[in-house]
Amino acid sequence: MPTRFPGFAKRQLVLIETDVDGAIVAWRAIVDAVQTGRLVVAVHDDPVPRELREGAAVSITTVTSTSVFTVDGAVTRRSDSTLALALRDDHAPMQRRQFVRVAARPVVRCLLLDDRANEFTPFDAYVHDIGGGGMALEADVIAPRDATVVVSLAIPGDRPLVAIATVLEHASSRERQERHEEYLLHVGFSAISERDRERLVRFVFTCMREDRGTVVRRR
CA distance 215 to 174: 33
Helix (H, G, I), strand (E, B) or coil at 200: helix
- Let me know: does 120 contact 112? Beta carbons within 8 Å: yes
If we measure between CA atoms, which residue out of 155, 104, 144, 154 comes closest to residue 121? Answer: 144
Q: What is the mean pLDDT of the chain?
A: 83
Here the CATH number for the domain that contains residue 61 is 2.30.110.70
Judge contact between 70 and 59, C-beta under 8 A: yes
Q: 3-state DSSP call for residue 219?
A: coil
Establish if 29 belongs to a structural domain.
yes
Rg (CA), the chain: 19
Element (H, E) at 21: none
Based on the fold, state whether residues 17 and 108 are members of the same structural domain. Answer: no
Same domain, 76 and 123: no
Tell me which of 74, 97, 120 is where a domain ends.
97
Residues 159 and 125 in one domain: yes
Q: Final residue of a domain: which of 35, 67, 97?
A: 97
Question: Are 165 and 194 found together in one domain?
Answer: yes
Identity of the residue numbered 214: T
Cα separation, 193 vs 164, whole angstroms: 10
Is the residue at 79 inside a domain? yes
Region 91-96: mean pLDDT is 59
Shared domain for 17 and 82, answered yes or no, is: yes
The backbone torsions φ and ψ at residue 197, rounded to the nearest 5 degrees and listed phi first, read -65, -40
Q: Are residues 23 and 77 in the same domain?
A: yes
Q: Within a domain: residue 189?
A: yes
> Do 162 and 69 belong to one domain?
no
**pLDDT at residue 42, as a whole number:** 95
* Same domain for 63 and 105: no
* Residues 190 and 115 both lie in one domain: yes
Q: How far apart are CA 133 and CA 138, in angstroms?
A: 17
The total of structural domains in the chain comes to 2
Q: Do 196 and 105 reside in the same domain of the chain? A: yes
pLDDT per residue over 163-173, tens digit each?
999 999 766 66
Q: What is the CATH number of the domain that holds 143?
A: 2.40.10.220
Does the model's pTM come out above 0.85?
Answer: no
Nearest Cα residue to 105 out of 123, 86, 125, 119? 125
Given this model, what pLDDT does residue 214 score? 46
DSSP 45: S
Tens digits of per-residue pLDDT, 11-53? 999 999 999 988 888 899 999 999 888 999 999 888 999 999 9
Residue 39 placed within a domain = yes
Residue 6: inside a domain: no
Residue-number span of the structural domain to which 113 is assigned: 100-201
If asked whether residues 141 and 60 sit together in one domain, one would say: no
Which one of 77, 97, 117 terminates a domain?
A: 97
Judge if 93 and 177 occupy the same domain.
no
Distance CA 218, CA 124 (A): 37
Residue 3: pLDDT band (50, 70, 90) is very low
- Look at 29 and 96; give whichever has higher pLDDT: 29
In a domain, 142, yes or no: yes
The helix/strand/coil state of 126 is strand
Spatial distance between the Cα atoms of 211 and 209, rounded to a whole number of angstroms: 5
For residues 74 and 56, is the Cβ–Cβ distance under 8 A? yes
Is residue 30 a part of any domain in this protein?
yes
Question: Would you say residue 4 lies in a domain?
Answer: no
39: amino acid identity, one letter: L
